Amino acid sequence: MKQLEFQEFYRASRDVCLRAVLASVGDRQLAEDLVAEAFTRAWVSWHRVSRHPAPPAWIVRTALNTRVSWWRRRRREVALEGDLEVADTSAGSAGLDPALLAAIRRLPQRQREVIAFRVFLDLDTRTTAEILGIAPGTVTAHLSRAVTTLRDHLVTVDDREVGS
């Protein structure tokens, strides 16, 4: 029973979680690794995760927290011949437009996280605020700023004139 329930959750949630993490981290391979790690942790704690109000949000938050842990561990390592990490901005099968992904990557971290939860996971403001540990008004402010910035980067002058 546990295995079938988890398999169904994985099939239904993997792509949306990957898109949310990819929007936040901007690197396809890193996003896939983080999501895989988060799903592994979810499997181990499925009895608890399955009762979470938004299990996909648990996956994304765990993936983003894992990134921070990996980054902290990595910064202590001695780099050999500089930084070899290259961000892959191609959206590939994640279904994200490369221009949109590039624009999202330029947003501040908290705005990227809010976009991931509110837009990609379609969570409400209150749930997003609880998951990120911030006030609902802060979620709304970050989302507003992010949308304004994305609109400024993605909507051309011709598009604005057509809408007038």
pLDDT at 158: 52
pLDDT at 74: 60
- Nearest Cα to 116, choosing from 31, 38, 49, 33? 31
Show me where the domains of the chain are located: 2-77+95-156
- Nearest Cα to 88, choosing from 145, 26, 164? 26
Number of C-beta neighbours around residue 112 at 10 A: 21
pLDDT at 99: 83
Q: What's the start-to-end Cα distance of the chain, in Å?
A: 56
Distance (Å, whole) CA 25 – CA 93 = 16
User: CATH classification of 2-77+95-156 is 1.20.272, yes or no?
Assistant: no
pTM of the model: 0.66
Q: Which residues of 29-53 are buried (b: 16+ CB within 10 A; e: fewer)?
A: ebbbbbbebbbebbeeebeebeeee
Ordered per-residue pLDDT tens for the chain, 164 residues: 688 999 999 999 999 999 999 988 888 999 999 999 999 999 999 999 999 999 999 999 999 999 877 666 565 554 444 443 444 444 444 567 888 888 888 899 899 999 999 998 989 999 999 989 999 999 999 999 999 999 988 886 455 555 55
Q: Distance between alpha carbon 164 and the CA centroid of its chain, in Å?
A: 33
